Structure 1
């Protein structure tokens, strides 16, 4: 065969590969996306199988109305407060001459290193009378305001001040400039952060159980413990899933499609920071200090006190280090499984951006928005009735981690694969490599930083996961989160302190990654 014929044959094979994705990778992507449909399919199936009369009796009752009222009040009060705290703190650190603003910007993200149920543990152990809706709102704001602060601060660093200068030249006061010019440009990050906060409020269990505030998640867990996946728990899970769907739909409808971008020639001018008068400087420092004290310093101080009371003997329990070992093992294996499972979906969505492959990717995002307890309850029901051999085994637990944390890997894998030149992959395929071999040997090597970042985020998410691990872990499994929860349930705050500290230490890298990524988004 001549050189020309070989070249033409190779080119034809590459062109055919572009038109028809690899069958194996497509099959794997379809399989993983089909697994992601288990929780929503479970909710629909249970509702249909139970029958309308039973559904009506279980859903339309005072207890559900009480839980729904608690949930609505929690979201209605917490989300606006998180927005107010996050936006104001971002404005102070990014657009004013607040003294020590660099330090404040780092400390503002630090509360993310403290799991929400550890935050609750610290405050409840310091103030045992803390309970109910006011306590839930207070602790939720402290735990989740960084989800607003991070995206808003990143956008504030990128804004071109030209629009603000024009508004100021027309006689608008600084306050009017902020409300009319700056705030509309923050709509997307505020809406996205608010969505994350709302979904976390629906999914959180430990924080609210510790302050004796009933939500759907705490009620589902209690119902499951008493009736073992009875109809009442399933119906509560269905209502909770419906609440998530309503929030997702509301966010998608209200965020709009407006975009703000500079398209003219030249570079955007450097932003001029608003100079604070001595009075406003004091007020800004007091506000930032109060937030950091309440969200970060107080929990660490209380934790330090319990660690001091426990002494060295508190670290000599064998079960503590076994819990750390199991946490690291489950997190490492789970992260590897989630990243490997996400590769076919991410690769197809980048290389072949068709409607089908985007739909496959979207299945993973939708399921991950469901609370972990809904995912766990779905897997419990499915494995008991159809796959009994894997019930309460590591297989089911890792499947839950895959369904819950897939987007953390997909987002980073997509970014890494998109930066890997497709020409190198096509060249490898023209030399006889299969699509899977070319993906493994060429693309994934270039996308390794993105895969590593995704694995780190999944690792740290699994290490702090509580509800699904409580329901699905095999007998004898004890992670830092479940061990901590068992001790706090016995009000043994001293023995629980080392577990809390180790979880915080494991969470610190995640906080650093998020902060560095927000800096990169701003072009710093």
Structure 2
């Protein structure tokens, strides 16, 4: 066994050349937005930079961005934790049904929910309306990891707390919440970075943030220097969130010592609070799902613009599925070597390669699209307005999400199995394909589901980079909704929700099952 351990240590210290080469590809892609923003900002000069950064509009955008991101993150975290605790720890009626239903708002893209609410009444086109709507759309991003964590934590800590005379609230805050902080923090930071990059929903709700301002600077004024400077400010906001997200992943959870030593979960009786909690869940379902789906049904049956785009439904559906699946596969392939290098071969290169995608994760799709347009025209003109360029944008935007989905599976695979395979005459790449790849297949499946869900609803990069003649369900919803043709947008929005249910169901199942197996 000593030679196996020595080989494992050697493999950890010296990554294979194919892993290093494969890692450099996503690193080069992710560097493109950083290079573009730096070059375009430098062209403005010190005077232009100072004028842009210190004008009143910049302060207004900064305030709006922080208010929106903070408000949605706090609200989504409170809702997500409350829902997760009720379905995993209480005797809520029908909690097995609510366990799945609570994740379904993920199937409704934020801009579709915004389109539904704004078409009801113009009063929702405001900052309070945006916080409400985006919180209802985002809370599953907190609920799922917290629910998975609740399934893996040992309820014995809570039993001990109660035996010491602590009430339900003190038990929650002292015995349970510390165990949930890593999952809660990861979900909350994911919501935060999503809000930094959100465009479609905010444009429909008439709320100005850095993301909408960047899009307007380019689309309306073709002022890429101003857009780059605004991107620098947004990137500065993303850096603390990216750092906190990486630090959060390093926090060790207090979990069960072993399956045999764990106590059975005893559900907490809600008693008099049961009707109130049930009403809360029903209200959450009505607001998060009922209003968007009901509004879509109304516009499908009524409205003077109905039927305008029926001939475009099938092409948009085909483009959505093809680009969603292709982008998910490409992003997952690029993420695998990054995760392998980070888990198996710790060092400066692996740390840099793993962390770099998180730095640009909060940048809006328009910045990534501008970078790819700028660099492709100057370096590789042949790929301008090609499908490859759009797929590269998807990979840059969603690479961190694929990394997060894959990492748990890679960490569960022993590093000793590869040296054993190589000792039997297999090359490093052959050993990976035959031994490692089958073992990380569950993580790959979760990554593919999450990537496809995110790519199918991506808006700004698709609007700017899609080849001529290519349109997705998301871009069609945007085109008709922006012109207030709500009935024409309804079939595309409804179809986008329907096909999103499949990856949401698969990803939810993987997340909750992962909590059971920890």
Q: Please, what TM-score do these two structures have when normalized by structure 1?
A: 0.89
Q: 1:299 aligns with which of 288, 292, 304?
A: 292
Is 1:335 the equivalent of 2:299? no
Are 2:214 and 2:227, in contact at CA under 8 Å, matched by a contact in 1? yes
- SS of alignment partner, residue 261 of structure 2: coil
Look up the match of 1:3: none
Look up the match of 1:43: 37
Larger Rg: 1
Are 1:412 and 1:450, in contact at CA under 8 Å, matched by a contact in 2? yes
Work out the CA distance in 2 between the residues paired with 1:40 and 1:63: 24
Work out the CA distance in 2 between the residues paired with 1:157 and 1:321: 42
Deviations 1:13-42 (A, max 9, x none): 999877643323322212321221222233
Look up the match of 2:79: 85
Range with greater deviation from structure 2 (349-358 or 181-190): 349-358
Is 1:489 the equivalent of 2:475? no
Is 1:119 the equivalent of 2:113? yes
Look up the match of 1:288: 281
Aligned-pair CA distance for 1:258: 6.6
Are 2:246 and 2:355, in contact at CA under 8 Å, matched by a contact in 1? no
Work out the CA distance in 1 between the residues paired with 2:236 and 2:95: 41
Is 1:370 the equivalent of 2:393? no
- SS of alignment partner, residue 275 of structure 1: coil
Aligned-pair CA distance for 1:335: 2.3
Structure 1 runs not aligned, ≥5 long: 1-11
Work out the CA distance in 2 between the residues paired with 1:254 and 1:434: 36
The correspondence of residues 26-105 of structure 1 with structure 2, limited to 5 A, is 26-105=20-99
Range with greater deviation from structure 2 (423-432 or 219-228): 423-432
Aligned-pair CA distance for 1:214: 0.7
Cα 1:393/1:513, change in 2 over 3 Å: same
Look up the match of 1:512: 505
Is 1:444 the equivalent of 2:424? no
Q: 1:352 aligns with which of 332, 345, 356?
A: 345
Cα 1:448/1:515, change in 2 over 3 Å: closer
Aligned-pair CA distance for 1:221: 0.8
Look up the match of 2:208: 214
Cα 1:17/1:270, change in 2 over 3 Å: closer
Look up the match of 1:133: 127
Cα 1:416/1:474, change in 2 over 3 Å: same
Are 1:334 and 1:401, in contact at CA under 8 Å, matched by a contact in 2? yes
Look up the match of 1:233: 227
Look up the match of 1:465: 458
Work out the CA distance in 1 between the residues paired with 2:508 and 2:165: 37
Aligned-pair CA distance for 1:203: 0.8
Aligned-pair CA distance for 1:464: 1.1
Work out the CA distance in 1 between the residues paired with 2:342 and 2:32: 21
Work out the CA distance in 2 between the residues paired with 1:306 and 1:480: 16
The correspondence of residues 155-166 of structure 1 with structure 2, limited to 5 A, is 155-166=149-160
Are 1:191 and 1:255, in contact at CA under 8 Å, matched by a contact in 2? no
Range with greater deviation from structure 2 (318-327 or 163-172): 163-172
Look up the match of 1:6: none
Are 1:241 and 1:371, in contact at CA under 8 Å, matched by a contact in 2? no
Cα 1:286/1:477, change in 2 over 3 Å: same
The correspondence of residues 144-163 of structure 1 with structure 2, limited to 5 A, is 144-163=138-157
Are 1:187 and 1:255, in contact at CA under 8 Å, matched by a contact in 2? no
Work out the CA distance in 2 between the residues paired with 1:486 and 1:338: 27
Are 1:241 and 1:374, in contact at CA under 8 Å, matched by a contact in 2? no
Deviations 1:373-398 (A, max 9, x none): 32222223323444433333222211
Are 1:368 and 1:405, in contact at CA under 8 Å, matched by a contact in 2? yes
Are 1:203 and 1:373, in contact at CA under 8 Å, matched by a contact in 2? no
Work out the CA distance in 2 between the residues paired with 1:361 and 1:489: 38
Work out the CA distance in 1 between the residues paired with 2:503 and 2:483: 30
Aligned-pair CA distance for 1:362: 2.3
Work out the CA distance in 2 between the residues paired with 1:449 and 1:288: 31
Q: Please, what TM-score do these two structures have when normalized by structure 2?
A: 0.90
Range with greater deviation from structure 2 (19-28 or 421-430): 421-430
Aligned-pair CA distance for 1:70: 0.8
Aligned-pair CA distance for 1:175: 2.2
RMSD, aligned α-carbons: 3.0
Cα 1:303/1:265, change in 2 over 3 Å: closer
Work out the CA distance in 1 between the residues paired with 2:320 and 2:514: 32
Cα 1:263/1:49, change in 2 over 3 Å: same
**Number of equivalences:** 513
